Amino acid sequence: MITKQQYVQYLISTPVNYTCTNLANHLEDTSHDTVNDYLRRERNTARHIWELAGPLINNQSDAYLIIDDSVQDKRHSHVMELVKRQYSGNVHGLVKGIGIVNLVHSDGTDYYPIDFRVYAPDMDGLTKNEHFRDMLREAYHKKGIQAPIILFDTWYAAADNLKFIHSLGKTFVTTLKENRRVSLSREGGYIHLEQIEWTPDRLRYGVEVKLKEVPFKVQLFKVVATNGDIEWAITNRAPQSIETQVVQKENQVRWVIEQLHRELKQLTGIEKCQCRKQRAQRNHFVCCYQAWFSLKILAKKLKATLYQVKHNLWSDYLCNELRNPHIPVYQPA
């Protein structure tokens, strides 16, 4: 029998191989079945993530909540619960995988996941947008989160999500797809974004527009990157209350969630578990988050990156091998 602490320690310590077999091979009196039984027996949930994050976040009114999803690649799996074909931003297409919707708290510099949901519509009947709203509802009504601004990408800029955030009395900053139509006036009807005339004043403060199925107006901003790429950002702030460069800066805060997704995949093996049962996968996910928190806390203490902390685990081993190699270089006589 193994414990959660042992399993999380394994995720922290192993360099590349995150399988149950590899753990069993390195833990005394442990078999593959023992590890698999542990993962199928536990009942870890997203509540454990908040228990880890709650004492660490800077829960003040100048912070942000960020929502995005990540697909755990399972393209080589054959019979595995939770796996379904879904869109992955990494490959810009459909892949077989397990979707996770993450909610992250950030003070603009530091960041911590505070909740997540597994996208499993065949089991719970919930869409990603419903998970989006459920996590926000719980963050404000149960967790007491103070962050007034919610950041998310185009995929979640659906009318129901915008209306929900507005009803909470919170501010959203998100982007629109290029084919989204907006209305500048009742007489003008709905037009494509590129048809808007961008005067110097509009480029600085944005322009007030109406979206279909959204009962309130939003501020639309044309954000031009240094390479010439254009993003269409919107917020429910009052007209001329904020400038384009501020919206651009806030929108950039959103990218910390992409960093979290990379760290979870590359440093904790979140998509490497090959257990077939959904309960085992869910338990593995929670353990990966705890491994991430462990790396994060040490990284802050050492003023290093999570990657440096993980790689330094093997630094002493490499130095010793270079001095006294277990496998000497073959030299022909």
- Report residue 316's pLDDT band, with 50, 70 and 90 as the boundaries: confident
The rounded distance, in Å, linking the Cα atoms of 35 and 15 is: 18
Say what the pLDDT of residue 165 is: 98
| Model confidence pLDDT, tens digit, residues 17-51 | 999 999 999 999 899 999 999 999 999 999 999 99
Residue 28 belongs to a domain: no
Say what the pLDDT of residue 216 is: 96
* DSSP code for 186: T
Say what the pLDDT of residue 124 is: 94
Say what the pLDDT of residue 85 is: 86
Residue 319 belongs to a domain: no
- Report residue 246's pLDDT band, with 50, 70 and 90 as the boundaries: very high
Residue 187 belongs to a domain: yes
The rounded distance, in Å, linking the Cα atoms of 104 and 107 is: 10
Say what the pLDDT of residue 217 is: 96
φ/ψ of residue 192, rounded to 5 = -75, 155
Kindly state the average pLDDT of the residues 140-147: 97
Number of domains in the chain: 1
Say what the pLDDT of residue 226 is: 80
Whether 262 has a pLDDT exceeding 90, the answer reads yes
The rounded distance, in Å, linking the Cα atoms of 47 and 197 is: 48
| Model confidence pLDDT, tens digit, residues 81-127 | 999 888 777 777 888 999 999 999 999 989 999 999 999 999 999 99
CB-count exposure of residue 254 (10 Å: 0-12, 13-18, 19+): buried
Domain around 228: 169-241
The rounded distance, in Å, linking the Cα atoms of 32 and 166 is: 50
Cβ contacts of residue 59 below 8 Å, gap of 6+? 105, 144, 145, 146, 147
Our CA angle for 136, 141, 146, nearest 5°, is: 75
Residues 196, 208: contact at Cβ < 8 Å? Answer: no
- Report residue 75's pLDDT band, with 50, 70 and 90 as the boundaries: confident
Residue 235 belongs to a domain: yes
Residues 62, 110: contact at Cβ < 8 Å? Answer: no
Say what the pLDDT of residue 174 is: 97
Residue 318 belongs to a domain: no
Say what the pLDDT of residue 57 is: 96
Kindly state the average pLDDT of the residues 127-152: 97
Residue 219 belongs to a domain: yes
Percent of the chain with pLDDT over 70: 100
Q: At what angle do helices 159-167 and 128-141 cross, to 10 degrees?
A: 10
| Model confidence pLDDT, tens digit, residues 198-234 | 999 999 999 999 999 999 999 999 998 888 889 999 9
